[in-house]
Amino acid sequence: MSSTAAARPPARRRAAIWITLGAIVALVILFFVFAGLYADILWYQQLGFLNVLTTQWLAAGVMFFIGFLGMALPLWLAIQLAYRLRPVYAKLNSQLDRYQQVIEPLRRLAMYGIPIVFGIFAGVSAGSRWQTVLMWLNGTAYGKTDAQFHLDLGFYLFALPFYRSLVGFASAVVIISLIATLATSYLYGSIRVSGREVRISKSARVQIAVIAALYLLLQAVSIWLDRYATLTDANVNDMINGAAYTDVNATIPGRAVLAGSAIFVALLFLLTAFIGRWRFPVVGTALLIVTALVAGAIVPWVVQRFQVEPSQKTLETPYVQRGIDATRDAYGLSDIDVIPYNAKTTAEAGALRKDAQTTAQIRIIDPAVVSPSFRQLEQFRQYYAFPNTLAVDRYNIDGKDQDAVVAVRELQQSGLGTARNWYNDTVVYTHGYGVVAAYGNQRSSDGQPVFLESGIPSTGSLGTYEPRIYFGQQSPTYSIVGAPKDGKKVELDYPGGTDDAQQTYTSFSGNGGPKLDNIFKRLVYALKFQDEQIVLSDAVNNDSQILYDRDPVKRVQKVAPYLTLDSQAYPTVVDGRVKWVIDGYTTSDQFPYSHVGSLTDAIADTETPKPAYSFDNINYIRNSVKATVDAYDGSVTLYAWDAKDPVLKTWEKIFPTTVKPISEMSAQLISHVRYPADLFKVQRSVLGQYHVTEAGSFYSRDDAWTTPTDPTSDAGNATLQPPYYLTLQMPGQDSPEFSLYTTFIPLASSEASRSVLKGYLAVDSNAGAKKGEVASGYGKLRLLTLPSSDTVPGPGQVQNSFNSDPTVSQQLNLLRQGKTDVINGNLLTLPVGGGLLYVQPVYVQSTGETSYPLLQKVLVAFGDKIAFEDTLDQALDVLFGGDSGATAGDTNVPPTDGGTSPPTEEPGTGTGTGTGTQNAALQQALLDARSALTDRDAALKAGDWAAYGVADARLKKAIADALAAESSGASTGK
């Protein structure tokens, strides 16, 4: 006794220790979870969108609770009833008796544990569907009805998805409860199997029959709802989406019959609960299965095979027309202007006289090529960076709108090299600096971009603005900024000279992130970022703010989770601030009769890579929101760009006060709004088929189009040509407008298909410049259609002509002499001169370590004629018989000193830029070589061998001079 008693205290102590350790571990885990949630609260609260977070949490929490109870309670009740109503004196076989002996000790745990486990899974599933529920609760009428059931389209967008989800959830609850009832009844003798005989107690019979009846009633509702779902299913050999002839005349009536049959069989199960005869529901279930086969499969097959297929085009035409009309409405293509365009193919002198304004704005600077030029000329330090593809915007310079290639000088901490440590990464190097913009239609004498805004500090034509870029696409994961008013400034603002004494420092003075004004917040963020320095460092003070989630797209996505965002955020100078502009879309895949396609597949091209897998099918899209993110303080503003969109109206009810009306948009902001590229790509993808509006022609697919392959992409990995922003004048416009355009060629039906031009689509991207008012022409789509008999070459044919022309090839080979590469820029197409003009800049880039592309030549084509000259203006004059009738923007080529002169670079921290001397020598040598080549060819044709020898010697000398100039430039890093 004494030894046993003595052994108990240590056992109790061990149990207490384990309980204590478990409690500590649980508290630590809970604190980590709490820290993450509290950090989210601080982030949303600082940004002014806390209601977005709380609404999501509340909705998901309520749905979890409903889903948990909706599954757990019925399942628990089913198990309890089956157990409590079991036969008390049932005779069990030996095997069931053994099962009971094993299960009985765990019975109580199982009766509560099984419903709880299933309830948790159901709660998580229901919680993830909070958007579907809130959209049903706040659904807005569309204002139009569908062509089949004549219900408001809002029913399909908001109500039907909820009803189908609800019925699916309820069906899962009932079927799991039925399985639990059968298992419990069998284990405790309510169901006994003896050979072929099955005995079921009265209580089990009633319970099973009632549950089966409920399940069949739910299936009846599900089948009835499936009638409406036929309006979004693929049909007519995948030609359109929606109910076609067989659906309307066989499938939909068949599902109505099947739903009625399911209700009838459910009543038979209820009858069995009272009379105890299973024969009726068993026979009814068999008949229901037969009915499902006949009404759901056989009858539709017979109608399709023997009625539709012999006269398919005639019978399906009305439904194809439904698909055409609905698709054009859902993708915003109903009001497109289709303009027949009899394009000329003969380049006549003076042909561009009427298009002089368009010609003066032709963009020869390719934003996908000149990023290295921006880096070499405007980077200044290795810890600054520019994106690989720059943005295209426009600014009013001296009262004239000017297309510009734009980027911001962002911070790139990987360029710090050995200077990287926590203090520098987090406290010192916190932001980028300034906007860099180049004229889209100009270049310097040696081929560099001509900047309208450049340098550090920023100077140029954009006026005074806040140049610091704390929030950008390449910003660090987090930075700690801010200091007391009289405290020392430690954030590097911008480099100044050769030593640290000349650097300029600053302190962030905005409201850009949660404050770290107490130890608790610092601990929260130390846990969030797994970094103890946030707590320990004396660089963190009560005035410090922590900036994170700094990518503009990510910030907008967090405050507007219902939006699908454009893949391109672009910077612009607005009202003295640098602001990122992001286009937001409301989408759906439930628009009746509308074509369904993958969003990511539709927007994939040279600039936007195609993902390996895409799970974002849509058949409705609207550019409903324009969002801005301030590059200095990260503030996010959402504007209701399409206030009539019912999907946006619904979300505005869910998240009130988060979206501002368009009336609050400033004039400057509206002037920089542009038509979004991703929406345009989706629309052009749809128009490839749906430019045909007559059902018979659409059914025959005799005029299908596609987007041409980008002629500058790799042949082994061909990608679609992206749309391009240009200032141009389309037929029907009074003056040139900032626009976005694309071209179409025939959809290849065989290898012999020709890549001739079939269509030219452009959209007016100029939103005007009035506060709170959008220009009437903005968003107007115009489609030029070329006659079938025309043979206007497409981009691929034009590029092939450029590459195969002997004169062009000879000059390009000359440019490739030595250590240089030739880069073809974007091939632009413009409807000018009564035809279609192609323009392509040609860049030359040294293969040396420090090099960047220089615009040296311009290729142009009109019809089957091409020209290849130093400037666009010269090329157009040559192309159009010596005088194009208009002047290009690169007529007066400005001199260059190599661009903006940067500060002298510290060793190991910068790139250095050249003064332009070596580039000028190379350019002169190339010009001499071209002149000698021309003279040599002329002498050869004339048979003047003496002149030929002189010209040949000049050519050799010019090539030698070019090689020497290029080699000297590479060796000096210039």
d(CA 887, CA 361) in angstroms, rounded, equals 10
| Range of weakest confidence among 22-36, 203-217, 419-433, 946-960 | 946-960
**Cis bond leading into 793, ω under 30°?**
no
If we measure between CA atoms, which residue out of 672, 680, 686 comes closest to residue 762?
680
Give the pLDDT score at 539: 93
Look at residue 911 and tell me whether its pLDDT is greater than 50: no
Query: What b-and-e string marks burial along 812-840, b requiring 16 or more CB atoms within 10 Å of the CB?
Result: bebbebbebebbbbbbbbbbbbbbbbbbb
The amino acid present at 206, given as its one-letter code, is V
Pairwise CA distance, residues 330 & 340, whole Å: 25
What would the pLDDT profile of 919-952 be if each residue is shown by its tens digit?
Answer: 566 667 777 777 777 777 777 666 666 676 777 7
Alpha-carbon distance 456 to 502, whole Å?
13
Give the mean pLDDT of 277-282: 88
Does this model's pTM top 0.85?
A: yes
Amino acid at 563: L
Burial of 942 (C-beta count, 10 Å sphere; 0-12/13-18/19+): exposed
Cβ 890 vs Cβ 442: under 8 Å: yes
Predicted pLDDT at 922? 67
Contacts of 932 (CB under 8 A, 6+ apart): 951, 952, 954, 955, 958
- Measured from the Cβ of residue 941, the count of other Cβ atoms closer than 10 Å reads 9
Q: What are the pLDDT digits (tens) for 305-348?
A: 999 989 988 999 999 999 999 999 999 999 999 999 999 888 89
Query: DSSP 3-state assignment of 885?
Result: coil
Measured distance CA(888)–CA(839) in Å, rounded:
12
Angle at 706 between CA 687 and CA 595, to 5 degrees: 40
- Predicted local distance difference test score (pLDDT) of residue 908: 33
Percent of the chain exceeding pLDDT 70 equals 90
Q: What is the pLDDT of residue 899?
A: 40
Long-range contact set of residues 54-59: C-beta below 8 Å, sequence gap at least 24: 55/654, 55/655, 56/130, 56/561, 59/130, 59/133, 59/134
CB atoms within 10 A of CB 624: 27
What value, to the nearest 5°, has the Cα angle with vertex 354 and ends 351 and 356?
95
Closest of 73, 82, 59, 162 to residue 122, by C-alpha: 73
Give the containing element (helix H, strand E) for 536: helix 533-536
Whether 901 has a pLDDT exceeding 80, the answer reads no
Question: Using an 8 Å Cβ cutoff, are 890 and 857 in contact?
Answer: no
pLDDT in tens, 102-151: 666 677 888 899 999 999 999 999 999 999 999 999 999 999 999 999 99
Q: What is the pLDDT of residue 814?
A: 79
The average confidence (pLDDT) of the chain is 88
Asked if 792 contacts 342 with a C-beta cutoff of 8 angstroms, the reply is no
Helix 50-84, helix 160-187: angle, nearest 10: 30
φ/ψ of 863, rounded to 5, equals 65, -130
pLDDT tops 50 at residue 897 = no
The stretches of 840-897 forming alpha helices (DSSP H) are 872-879
Instruction: Band the pLDDT of 23: cuts 50, 70, 90.
Output: confident
- Point out the least confidently predicted range of 730-739, 753-762, 803-812, 953-962: 953-962
pLDDT of residue 894: 58
d(CA 642, CA 798): 39
Q: Sort 947 into a burial class: Cβ within 10 Å, 0-12 / 13-18 / 19+.
A: middle
Stretch 167-178: mean pLDDT, rounded?
A: 96
Per-residue tokens: 922: 């190379």
Distance CA 262, CA 289 (A): 10
What is the pLDDT at residue 966? 59
Count of C-beta atoms within a 10 Å radius of residue 696: 13
In the structure, what pLDDT confidence band is assigned to residue 893 with cuts at 50, 70 and 90?
low
Residues with Cβ within 8 Å of residue 509, at least 6 apart in sequence = 482
Q: Are 203 and 100 in contact (CB under 8 A)?
A: no
Q: Does residue 903 register a pLDDT over 90?
A: no
Measure the CA–CA gap between 311 and 303, rounded to whole angstroms: 11
C-alpha span between 255 and 261 (Å, rounded): 10
* Position 500 pLDDT exceeds 90: no
Rounded to an integer, what distance in angstroms lies between the CA atom of residue 407 and that of residue 418? 27
pLDDT in tens, 560-602: 999 999 999 999 999 999 999 999 999 999 999 999 999 999 9
pLDDT at residue 912, rounded to an integer: 33
629, 552 contact by CB (below 8 A): yes
Q: Which helix (H) or strand (E) holds 234?
A: strand 234-235
Task: Spell out the residues 6+ positions from residue 926 whose beta carbon is closer than 8 angstroms to its own.
Answer: 814, 815, 856, 958, 962
Kindly report, residue by residue over 780-808, the tens digit of the pLDDT: 999 999 988 768 899 999 999 998 888 88
pLDDT tens-digit profile of 226-272? 999 999 887 766 778 999 999 999 999 999 999 999 999 999 999 99
Contact (Cβ atoms closer than 8 angstroms) between residue 765 and residue 674: yes
Query: With pLDDT > 90 as the criterion, what percentage of the chain qualifies?
Result: 67
Q: Indicate the pairing of strand 659-661 with strand 636-640.
A: parallel
Q: If we measure between CA atoms, which residue out of 880, 881, 870, 891 comes closest to residue 811? A: 870
